[in-house]
Every structure is written in C-alpha cells, then in structure tokens.
Amino acid sequence: MHWFDDWALTLAVFIPLVGLAAVLFIPRAHEQAIKTTALVASLATLAVGVGILADFNYSQGGKLQFIVDKSWIPLIKARYHMGVDGISLPLLILSMLMVVLCIIYSWNHFPEPHNPKAFLALILLLAVGMNGTFVAQDLILFFVFFEIVLLPMFFMIGVWGGPNRQYAAIKFFLFTLFGSALMLVSFLAIFFLSKHQTFQMPQLAQFGGSGIASGTQALVFGGLFLGFAIKVPMFPFHTWLPDAHTEAPTVGSVLLAAILLKLGAYGFIRIALPILPAAARAWAPWIGLLAVIAIIYGALCCLAQRDMKRLIAFSSVSHMGFVMLGIATLTSFGINAAVFGMVAHGLITGLLFFVAGSVQERYKTREMNRLGGLLTQAPKLGWILGFTVMASLGLPGLAGFWGEFPAILSAYNPAKLTQGLFNGDQLLTFRVYLVVAAIGTVLAAGYLLWMLQRVAFGAVKAEFENVHIHDVHVSEWIAWVPLLLLIVALGIYPNLIFHITHGAVSNVSKVFGG
Amino acid sequence: MLENAWIIPTLPAVAFVAIVFFGKRSPGKGAFVGIAAVGASFVASCVAAGQWIQRVDNATGKSEGLAAFTKGVVSAGGAHAVQPVTESITWWQNGSIKFGVGTFVDGLTVMMVVVVTLISLLVQIYSTAYMRGDRRYTWYFAALSLFTASMLTLVVASNTIQLLVGWELVGVCSFMLIGHWWEEPANSRAAIKAFLTTRTGDIGLMIGIIILFFTVGSFGIGATNLYATSGHAQHAFLLAAAVCLLVAIIGKSGQFPLHTWLPDAMAGPTPVSALIHAATMVVAGVFLGARLYPVFFNGFSIGHGGVNAMALVGGVTIIIGAALAFVQTDIKKVLAYSTISQLGYMVMALGVGAWSAAVFHLFTHAFFKALLFLGAGSVSHAAGHSFDMREMGGLRKKMPITFWTFVIGSLALAGIFPLAGFWSKDEILVNAGKNGYTAFLVVGLIGAFLTAAYMTRVVYLTFFGEYRGHEHPHESERAITIPLVILGALSVGAGLVNAAPLGLEKIKDWVQPQVAFPHLNNAAFDYPKAILSVSIALAAIVIAGYYWLRRDELRAFRGLTERNALARSGYQFLVNKYYLDYLYEDIIVDGIRGAVARASYWVNQHVIDGVVNGLGSGSTRIARYTYDVIDQRVVDGAANGIALETDRAGAEVRGFQSGHVQRYALVLFGGVGLLSLALFLINIH
Amino acid sequence: MQLNEFLILAAFLFCTGAYGVLARRNGVLVLMSIELMLNAVNINLVAFSAFTKNVSGQIFALFIITIAAAEVGVGLAIVLLIYRNLHSPDLDEVDQLKG
C-alpha cells in the first residue's frame, strides 16, 4: 500500500475534478449518464476516504500522514504540500460523505432550471475545493482551495436559488471575498515576517510566530480573523448566511451548512492558532465574547423567524458560536469539542436542511404559519424532523451534545490568556461566557421545539388538507440514513471522533499550556 | 449482576429499537416486546438487589454488627464497609485523559433499579388495556421502553456526564409522552412547557457538573463523593456546585418555584403520568440529591443545623403544592400537586440531613403514587375518559377493586398507620425535629394535615355520593386491576422495610452508602411524634370528610350526627363539634380553599406562570426587535451601506468618462502641462 | 543660425497643432493638426541632431515620418467610417465610449 500513502490525498482532491471533466464531455441530453458519472466520481472519492480511514495510524493522530510535498511554484516558494492529521480527517471524510449524499438526494430533485449537467459539475467542483482545503499544508495551496469553493456556490445560489437569489449570491460572494482578501494579505505578511520565508504550515506552526512583534502579530491575526470569521460566520459578520441559505437550493444549503461553514473554524484551528499563538492569546477573550453573543443572538433571531429555512440558518449562527467558544478557550477540551461540534453540526444541520428542502418541495412553502400536521400527512418525514430537532438542541445520546457540552465545560478554565474583559480577569470573563452559553442551550430547545410544534404537530391546515403529500422517497432514505446512523453512533460513542482528534488537538493546545 | 449492571438499562433500550423497527409486525404490536424487556430488566434488578443485600449482610456479619458502620463511615473504605461496584469502559477522551461510561452500583442504585423496573413493568401491563386502540399504540410502548432505559441509565451512572445524559433523555421521553396526542395544540404546548422548564433547571446541572469536575478533577460519582467528604474540600466550590445542582433538582422534581409544568404535564396518557410521578422523571431530581449527597451536605453545611436553601425549597413546596391541590376539579391535577408536595418532603428531608428518610419516602411514594394515578386512570377508563371529579361520584359500588386500592393509596399517602407512607413520612418528621430543624417539623405536620384532607376530598368526590356523569361505569379489566392490586399490596407493606420500632432498618443497612458518605445521626423512632402525625392526618380525614358530606347534602342531618359520633370516638379535637365546624368550615377550610389556595393558585398562574410566559413572550418580543431593528437595519444596513456608497462613488466618477476623445486629450495635455510645471519648479534650484 | 529659432518655430507649430486637436470638431482637421504636432517634433529632432552632431535624431525623424504616414492612413479610414456611420465628421458626436 505504499503507493496509496503517496497518492491518497491527490486522489481525494482530484478525482472529483476528473469526474467534472467527464461530466462536461457528456452531452446534456444524456442525463442518466451524467448523473451516474457524477455519482461514481463522488463514490470513488469516498472510497479513497475509506481507504485513508483504514490506513490512518490512529496512535499517531497528532502527526501529519499521507504527506505529499512537491515543488509547485518555486518562484514564490509555494509547494504542493498536503497531509492529514486527526483534525483534518473527520472533516475530510464528512465532506466526502456529504457530497455523495447530496448527489443521491438530487437524483430526481433537481431544482429549477433543472440542468443536471451544470448542477453536478458545480457540486464536483465544490468537492475539489472542500477536500483540498482540509488537506492543504501550504498557505497558498490552502488559499486556492479556499477560494475555489466560492465560485460554484455563487452559481448554485445565483442560478438555482429562490426568488431573491441574485442579491443573496452577490452578498455571499462579496462578503466572503472581502474576508479572503484580508486573509491573503495576512498570509503574505506571515511569509515575509517569518524567519525562513515559507508558506508551509507545519514549519510555520513550529516557528510559532517567534520574532514577530506582538503588535504586528495582532494585526496579522486580525486579517486571518476576518477571513475566517466571515466564513464561520461569527457575529456580526453573519448577515450573508441567512440570505444565502434561504435562497440557495436544498443541496446548496446542505453543503453550505455542513462543510463551507467549517472551513472558517478549521482555519482558526489549523492556521490562526498555531502560527500566531501570542496573538491568539490576546484575541481569545474577544473571540469568546463574539461567540457567546452569537449563541444568544442567533437563538433570539431564530425565535423571530417565520421561514423554516431561515430559522435553521440562524440556528447555525448559534451553533457555530459554541464551536468558536471552544476554540477561544485555547484548551484541548475546547478545541476537541470544536472539531466534534463541527462534525456534529455538519451532520445535523445538513439533515435539517435536507428535511426543510423536502418539506418545501411538498408544500411549496416554508412559512411555518401555513404548515402543520406534518406528522399526520407524512409521518416518517415528521419523525425524522423530530429526531433531527432533538439532535440539534444538543440532546445527550445524540451527536450534538458532544460538541456543546465540552465546549461549555472548557470555558470554565481557559488557557492562560494575555487579558480578559471585566478588569482583565480572564477566569471571570470565561465563566460568564459559560453561563451565557448554558442559557443558550435552553433558548435552542425553545426555538427548535417551537418549529417542530408548528411544522409537525397539530392538525393539517385547510389549504393542504386535500393535497397528496408523499412520505419519504427512496432517494431521500438513501441520502438520510447514513446521517441518522452517524448522529446516533457519534452520540452514543463519542470516542469515535475524540480518539482521532485528541492527538492533533494536543499539538495545537500544548502551545497554550492546555 | 452487580458487575454486569449495564444489562439492566440496555434491555429496555434494545426493546425501544426493536419496537421502533419491528413493533407493528410483532405480537402484541410491540407491547409484548416492551413488557418482556422490562420484565427481564426487573428480574435482573432483583438479582442485583439480592446479591447486594447478601454482600452487605456478609460484611456486617464479620464486623461487630451494626455499630461498626454507624460510627465509622466517614473515612473511605472503613474496615468492613461495602464498596460500591464500579465498572466502566472508555467513552470519550481529551488528550490522554480518558472518560468512562459504566455502572456504579450500591444500595441506592439497586433500590432505584428495582423500583423503576417494577413500576415500569406494571405501567406497561396496565397500558395494554388502557391504551388499546390508540393511534400510536406501538410508538407508545417504544417511548415507554426508552423512558425506562433512560431512567435506568441515570440511576446506574458511574459519572456525572452519564447522569446528565440519562437526565436529559428522561426529559425528552417525557416530552414525547406528554405530547403523545399532539394533534391537540394544548398537549404539545404542555409538552414543550415541561421540556423547557426542566431544561432551565438543567442549566444548573450542567454548570454544577462542570464546577465539580474542575474542583474534583473527575466526573466520577465515587470520586466526587470521596472528595466532598474528605475534609479538605474547598467549601466555596462545593457550595457553588450544590446551589447549581439544587436548581437542577428544583427543575426536575417540580419544586417551588419551577413546579408549574408538572400539573400541565397531565396532558399525557395516565399511565405515563404514573411513570413520571412514581419512578422516572421527577424522581430523578431527588435521586440526584441522594446520589451526590456529600456535596449538598458539606456545601450547605447541613450538619450544622440552621436554615439552608435545600430544606427551605422543600418546605415551601410542601405547603404550596398541598394548598393548590384543594382547588382542583381534575383528579389528575390533585395528584400532580400532591406529588409536588411529596417531593417537597423528600427534598426537605435531604435538606435537614435525613438521607435515609428521604430515600425511604421516595421508595414508598413510588408505590402509592403509581397506584393512585393508575387508579385515577381506571376510573376515567371506565367512566367515559373524563378526569373531572364533578362528573364522577358514587363509583364505590361500581368499581370495588379500584375503589379499595385507591383508598389504600390515599391512606398511604396521608400517612396513616401502618401503611407505607406512614413509616417514611414519620421518619422525615422525626429527623427534622431531631436535627434541630423544628420549623421544618411544623411545616411537615401542616403538610401531612393538608395531604390527608385533600385526599379525602378526592376519594369522597370520586367514589361517594351519587354518580353525576352520563356513562355506565363498570369495573376495569384484569390488565388494569392486577397492577392496582399489586401496588396496593406494596403500599400496605413497603413501609415495613424500614419500620424502626419493629427492628427493621433496612434502608439504613442496605441502601445508605457506607463509604464516602457524611456521618448522619438517624433519629430513633419517636412514639409521641408518630402518634401526633397520625392523629393530624386522621383529623384531617375526618374533618374533610365531614365537611364534604355536609356540604353536599344538607338534608342528611341524620348522617351528619353519625359522622360526628364516629369522629368523636377517635378525636378529642372534635368534642366541641360546633366550634370545630365553625373553625374548620369557615376559617380553615374556607380560608384554605378560598383565600390561601386561590391566592397560591393566583400567584401560581399569574406571577410564576406569568413570569415564565412573560419571559417567553418577552424574549420573542426582544427577538423580534433584535431581528427587525438591530439585525435588519443596523448590522445588515451597515453591510448594504458600504456597497451602496461604493456604487455612489462610481456614479460620481462615471461622469468623467465622457467618451469625447478631445476631452480626454485636453486632460492629457493639461496633465502634461501640470507635470512639466512641477518638474520645472522642482528643478528651479 | 541659432538653435533657438528652430525650437521657437517647433513650439509654435506644436501649439498650433495642439490647439487644432483640442478645439476643431472636424475629424479631418484634427488629423491634420496631429500631423502638425508630429512635424513640430520632427523639426526639434533634426535641429538637435544637427546641433549635437549626432545622427540618431535624424533617424528618428525618418521613423516618425513613416509612422505618421501610416497613422494618417488609419486615421483617415476611421474618420471616413465615422462619417459613413454618423453622416457627419463632427467628433463631438462620437461619444459611444462614454461610461
């Protein structure tokens, strides 16, 4: 299997690209062939992922594995450098899995204006960017993959989206592009300020920002922060998200929630914290503050929603707040929780968006005032919604809990920071965050159960009484069952993720003494 | 079985999965699977209990009898103390620290698993008849199985995280079951209210667990108790943790002021109410208090006497709950308020240092409260699915089994000798008096009086007088009456487990932990106090019965005198009957029924419930404001504003590009001219 | 002869040309004005070449003459096309490049 070690990541990233090329060569009329090709390409990618899972050395989870390191653009010292460790692996697999499920889900569900060829090509292109971001170990390579993602998502929202799609697509594109521009500036600054002038993440992490003045570090971190925070999205940079989610087609929403939001948080863990630890210490209380504001604020906004999809979008803001709170503590508890939270949120919110999409497809509306009695008309769909809601509100025994609870836990005892709020008392600062975040869990239960009550419980509204509502389709079952199983499995036995991540997370947190 | 206690919660959990997937096709439409699993679980629990008792008895036999562990239990693992049996496997990890999931089995655990599985078994058998023909019959049994499994997970938990998992799962199961008939908006509202109220309390549990983890350095229940009793514990942290955990208990066990969800939770099917009130859900709070008792004991300094939050909460709840029970017309709501009040006894007992009394009361209360709920269900099942006591009456003759078992349950609840409730309630009162909490002794006695009075009212309205409904009531079938009879027998006999005057103190011997546990002085049985409390309860029954009888039928003066004669024989309080008539009818009963109860109910509905509702609607309003003004206008406005400004600047500059070549040339020449001028000026020196 | 005279002549010619380019509206006249400016430069180049005894100036002048011829060819073609499309040689009407 020696060749596999060398080629696995290249395959993981570029098989979707090959699939994309193949799809482009098939004439538009041969829909079946196009769908099959796309599915085969995504399945092949997932197979590579399974191979990586099987071959990964879990006792060395903290070390980069499957490393490829080739010269790429010598002029700027950028290298084709990829590798996975315990932090990347769960997210990489999640990304591969979600792409397969999205293709299966859209099998007979292509939104208007149809055109499966273009739609699937965009999904495959997204896969290239997402997989690449999680394995890149070179800042320039990372940036390239990070940006590749924007394009297909822009078109997906702009072409297949809802009535207000153009506004949403442009807002999404501009907002994130603005962030990445500053992020690139920071990358360049890191390159020039570092001793060896390198873009290689492992080297930069080892080097840990030594020799860079703390003021400069804080500024450079600011650039990274904006780039990643917009992607997460953190309060107050989140306004693109509800619009993008509301307008995007179902599959777009799913990928956006499940994977794209993770790119930002992953960037914090992979790049911002290890490369600029001193700045991270200085910024942490503020990141934590924004995180808890997001938790409460997102939840409050959810309570005011009438549109189901928009509610779920705001719930993402709230949930990613927990992830960011975990990261802001700079402890291994917090970062482990953040990685777990990302995977759990990907599975759960992905499923929520799938279900919301299916509800919309059947009732042609997402207005919760008009819906009701889903459990009567489509009991299975209703139960899946109920299950997912329970998972999303952080019910122990399901995956959501393990992202939330350790994150709250970690806030009790953050790593040593430069300063805190409240007269500089960092312990007090974070313990206040802890209580606020815990209150957030109650609000989460409130808005999610309220949604469930309006959509699933009660009697069917008069306007839909005589409409035939098909219960879950076969393609929906195939797409959802893996998610349902994973949510339960991770909830019952969370070590499935924690035993992969803990080594790599310790590498990040040991700099901070955690 | 002590080492393999994981089997006990696993069986119903497996049954849940099996029923969900194969229930509709299995015999009994899933009911048999559920009953078989919980039955097997019950057998396993009994085996575990037997093994534990054997172990304790062996250890005691080798030491010098009882004395060895009544004095020397503070230190970890005194000479012959029986250690809890713990088993665990890795569940999750952080860095190289591994956190386990597993079982922690000691006397409290085995007692709880026996109670939970037994009640759950009886409730499931009962449900086969009660729920027959229900829309979601199969799902109902699946949810019951999951409910039982969650509670058992909580009970056997070896660490606080696992406890939290079980705790929340119990909450969600009760959500599903309270909202079982979700077609009615009122039911789903009640379910959500229950879930959200308890989850508010769960904030306390979560934070308490976190504080304990960082103080103790472990999630383990054994380790936590050991730390709390070690003597070098940091008191401030213990106090903080105890306060947080008390909030959790208040939420879960329906204590004042978070008790409002419990009466609403009656929206669920009656067997579910029995399960919630007797064995699962609300009992979880008291169990938490008992399980982590050293934290409370040392956190609140219970050993030093003086008022503490825990005892106070319990005491207030006893009165509040009992007073409210008087103004209810719904039989299930009376029982719900009674549960609140009884849980108040347990919490108060924990708060005054009467651990074994609290656990004992939990034990006996499980049987008679389950009995009362199932009895109420039987009545409504037979009498047209109504719980309104105004439509009942005179059912004594028509359903004798239900009547007699219900009376036994009521008497047990009222604390009448020698039924189960007497022994446990009496132990609480005696201990409260002995540990220097005289005020709480008085509260307990008042509670006992109220309990007996309102239960008399229920029994009278339901079973005596003329039938006021429009159905044809009949005795229920066997699947319903057999559980009633079993529970009735237990309500009579369960108290003997810890009947101190007979030399039986098994709760103290078998259940009370012998390691990592504070040194408690259990009070000896006190005859005057016992007689006092029984007298008070009997007086309440007689007075209330008399009142209801007379109020109902003024024509029956002959009956009235008979009653009075009966009363006179037992109670010297009733010697002067006119005086007492006046006192009880116009001052006490009317006062309690009228002013006090209404005021409590008013406070309950308007102030407490109002705050809950107000918080709900207020946060919606804040949310709407936040969304409309801050998010849409300020935050989003800022984002749109930047784009707009860029656009406007572009429009300004656009005019410059006229398209006229000559104008461009003019600019060009002008520029060259200016540049030349600049060059000239620079070079002038 | 002094260099100055040539330079003054060239400056005069250049200014005339520049005025024509900026002020005339007829495309043909603008073209001719451009020619004037080019030739003013030529004069300068030749004059400086003679003055500094360096032949490269004259070579440049020859280049400019050649290029000017080509430029006039293209320019006239453009003007012709403008006339054909707009029925007027007036350059003010040509503002399709407006932003």
> Is B654 an 8 Å CB contact of chain C?
yes
- Measured CA to CA, the distance from residue A238 to residue A231 in angstroms comes to 8
Task: Give how far B210 is from chain A: nearest CA, Å.
Answer: 6
Question: Rounded to whole angstroms, how far apart are CA atoms A409 and A393?
Answer: 17
Residue C98 forms part of a structural domain: no
Nearest CB to B661: which of C18, C94, C99?
A: C94
Give C99→chain B minimum CA distance, Å. 5
How far is B182 from chain A, CA to nearest CA, in Å? Answer: 6
In a domain, residue C24? The reply is yes
Q: What is the pLDDT of residue C38?
A: 92
Distances in whole angstroms, Cα of residue B604 to Cα of each of A442, B458, B514, B618: 22, 21, 41, 19
In this structure, is residue C92 part of a structural domain?
no
What the block records as the tokens of C43 is 């004069």
pLDDT 10s digits, B84-102? 777 778 888 777 777 888 8
CB contact under 8 A, B624 and A304: yes
Q: Mark yes or no for CB contact B661/C99 under 8 Å.
A: no
pLDDT in tens, B109-137: 888 888 899 989 988 888 888 888 777 88
Residue of B nearest to C97 (CA): B659
Residue of B nearest to A239 (CA): B636
Inter-chain CB proximity B665 and C94 less than 8 Å: no
* DSSP code per residue over C34-98: HHHHHHHHHHHHHHHHHHHT-THHHHHHHHHHHHHHHHHHHHHHHHHHHHHHHSS-BGGG--TT-
pLDDT tens readout for residues B433-473 = 777 777 788 888 888 888 888 888 888 877 777 777 777 77
User: What pLDDT is stored for residue B66 in this prediction?
Assistant: 43
Does the distance separating the beta carbons of C18 and B660 come in below 8 Å? no
> Are C22 and B659 inside 8 Å of each other by CB?
no
Model confidence pLDDT, tens digit, residues B134-157: 778 888 888 889 999 999 888 888
CB A328 within 8 A of CB A221: no
pLDDT of residue C61: 92
Whole-angstrom distance, CA of residue A342 vs CA of residue A344: 5
> Greater confidence, B541 or A143?
A143
A397: closest CA of chain B, how far (Å):
6
Element (H, E) at B193: helix B185-216
Whether A297 contacts A126, CB under 8 Å: no
Question: What would the pLDDT profile of B584-611 be if each residue is shown by its tens digit?
Answer: 344 543 444 455 444 544 544 455 455 5
Give chains near B: 3+ CB pairs under 8 A: A, C
pLDDT value of residue B582: 45
| Positions of chain A with pLDDT under 50 | none
List of chain C residues whose C-beta atoms are within 8 Å of the C-beta of residue B662: 21-22, 30, 91-92
Instruction: At C90, give phi and psi (nearest 5°).
Output: -70, 120
In a domain, C31, yes or no: yes
Residue C13 lies in a domain: yes
| Touch criterion met for C and A (3+ Cβ pairs within 8 Å) | no
Residue A282: both structure tokens together:
């200085």
Q: Encode pLDDT of B624-680 as tens digits.
A: 887 888 888 888 888 888 888 888 888 887 777 777 778 888 888 889 889 999 998
Q: Within a domain: residue C77?
A: yes
* C-alpha distance across the termini of chain C, in Å: 51
> What b/e readout covers B221-253, taking b as 16+ CB neighbours within 10 angstroms?
bbbbbbbbbeeebeeebbbbbbbbbbbbbbbbb
Chain C contact for B659 (CB, 8 A cutoff): yes
Whether A454 and chain B come into contact, CB under 8 Å, resolves to: no
Stated pTM of the model:
0.79
Instruction: Domain count for chain C, please give it.
Output: 1
Q: Say whether pLDDT at B241 is over 70.
A: yes
* Cβ-defined contact of B620 to A397 (cutoff 8 Å): no
Alpha carbon of C19: minimum distance to chain B alpha carbons (Å): 10
User: What is the CATH number for C24?
Assistant: 1.10.287.3510
Tell me whether residues B192 and A450 touch, CB distance under 8 A.
Answer: yes
The residue of chain B with its CA nearest to that of A432 is B207
- The set of chains that have 3 or more CB pairs under 8 A with C is B
Beta carbons of B182 and A375 less than 8 Å apart? yes
The three-point CA angle A385-A316-A412 to 5° equals 110
Tokens found for residue B298: 């040392």
In sign, the C-alpha dihedral spanning A454, A456, A460, A462 is positive
Q: What is the pLDDT of residue B595?
A: 55
Structural domain harbouring C41 = 3-87
A-to-B residue pairs, Cβ atoms closer than 8 angstroms: 130
| CB contact at 8 A, C56 and C49 | yes
Contact present, B189 and B251 (Cβ < 8 Å): no
Q: Which of B654, B662, B669 sits opposite C91 (nearest CB)?
A: B662
Residue boundaries of the structural domains of chain A: 2-510
Pairing of β A78-84 and β A65-73: antiparallel
**Chain A residue with the nearest C-alpha to that of B185:** A458
Do residues B197 and B260 touch, judged by C-beta distance below 8 A? yes
Angle made by CA atoms B6, B7, B9, in degrees to the nearest 5 = 75
Q: What is the mean pLDDT of residues C90-99?
A: 72
Q: Could you read off the pLDDT of A63-114 as tens digits, one per residue?
A: 888 888 888 888 888 889 999 988 999 999 999 999 999 999 988 878 878 8
Cβ within 8 Å, pair B658-C98? yes
Phi, psi of B399 (to 5 degrees): -135, 80
Residue B576 has pLDDT above 70, yes or no: no
Q: What pLDDT, on the 0 to 100 scale, is given for residue B610?
A: 57
- The pLDDT of residue C39 is 92
B640 Cα to chain C: minimum distance (Å): 24
Short-list A208, A86, A56, A64, CA closest to A505:
A86
**Residue C71, in any domain of the structure:** yes
Distance from CA of A343 to the nearest CA of B (A): 15
Average of pLDDT values for B562-573? 42
pLDDT value at residue B575: 31
Measured between CA atoms, the residue of chain B closest to residue A431 is B207
